[in-house]
């Protein structure tokens, strides 16, 4: 299975960012031209005046493997997270299965190369391990074991599901940190999908935050 990022809702727009900034002078976006408002947004982003970008936001429903979710859950400020609980549900979860395994990076403790691991046995062993884990989990549930204990056998490649909401600026920080060369590729894929939604909803503000030229 692959990660999925679904946009649930958006609050605000580029003009709301402008209004949050211009309230200092008791003015609003409607008092200025679109070009003047865009220039203000770029000025705010360039000089790290972040608070106006915190008055708008988005809400997502995301499905991704546990190891990706746990990296993203480290981002707390300006964000709210609610996740499916394997204490309460006992259906068999989906499992992330890669098309290939990447070689480890030699120069850093974390990271990877684009070069695939050549031995096909690696994928076969991984598939065997996760399938076995799911089979044991199902057997435990069938024997009446409580889900909160049975879940212990599930792998880190298990898919999880959560609702993630927060300000535009908070998601900017997520994307900024999770799309670098050092970020894990599977996590970057989720961050890039979030970025695409942010750009669609806030084209001027997101372009400015991401460092584009006016």
The mean pLDDT of the chain is 94
Has residue 110 got a pLDDT over 80?
A: no
pLDDT at 158 exceeding the cut of 90: yes
**More confident: 104 or 79:** 79
Question: How many other C-beta atoms can be found within 10 angstroms of the C-beta atom of residue 148?
Answer: 12
Residue 108 has pLDDT above 70, yes or no: no
pLDDT on residue 115: 79
Active site residues: 178
Q: Give the per-residue pLDDT at 118.
A: 82
Domains present along the chain, CATH in parentheses = 4-85+161-209 (3.30.1360.170), 102-153 (no CATH)
Would the pLDDT of 114 be above 90? Answer: no
pLDDT of 171 > 80? The answer is yes
pLDDT at 151 over 80: yes
* pLDDT of 105: 78
pLDDT at 109: 64
* Better pLDDT: 204 or 102: 204
Which whole number is the average pLDDT over 166-191?
95
């Amino acid at each position: 299975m692959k990660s999925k990022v679904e946009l649930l809702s958006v609050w605000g727009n580029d003009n709301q960012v402008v209004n949050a900034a211009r309230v200092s002078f008791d003015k609003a976006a409607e008092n200025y031209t679109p070009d003047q408002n865009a220039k203000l947004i770029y000025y705010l982003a360039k000089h790290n005046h972040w608070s106006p970008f915190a008055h708008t936001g988005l809400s997502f429903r995301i499905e991704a493997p546990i190891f990706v979710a746990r990296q993203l859950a480290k981002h707390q400020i300006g964000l709210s997270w609610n996740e499916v609980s394997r204490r309460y549900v006992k259906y068999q979860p989906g499992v992330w299965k890669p098309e290939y395994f990447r070689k480890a990076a030699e120069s850093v403790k974390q990271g990877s190369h684009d070069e695939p691991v050549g031995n096909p046995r690696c994928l076969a062993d991984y598939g065997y391990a996760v399938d076995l884990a799911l089979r044991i989990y199902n057997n435990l549930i069938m024997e009446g074991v409580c889900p909160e204990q049975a879940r212990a056998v599930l792998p880190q490649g298990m898919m999880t599901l959560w609702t993630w909401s927060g300000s535009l600026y908070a998601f900017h920080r997520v994307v900024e940190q999770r799309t670098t060369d050092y970020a894990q590729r599977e996590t970057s894929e989720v961050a890039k999908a979030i970025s695409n939604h942010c750009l669609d909803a806030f084209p001027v503000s997101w372009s400015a935050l991401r460092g584009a030229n006016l």
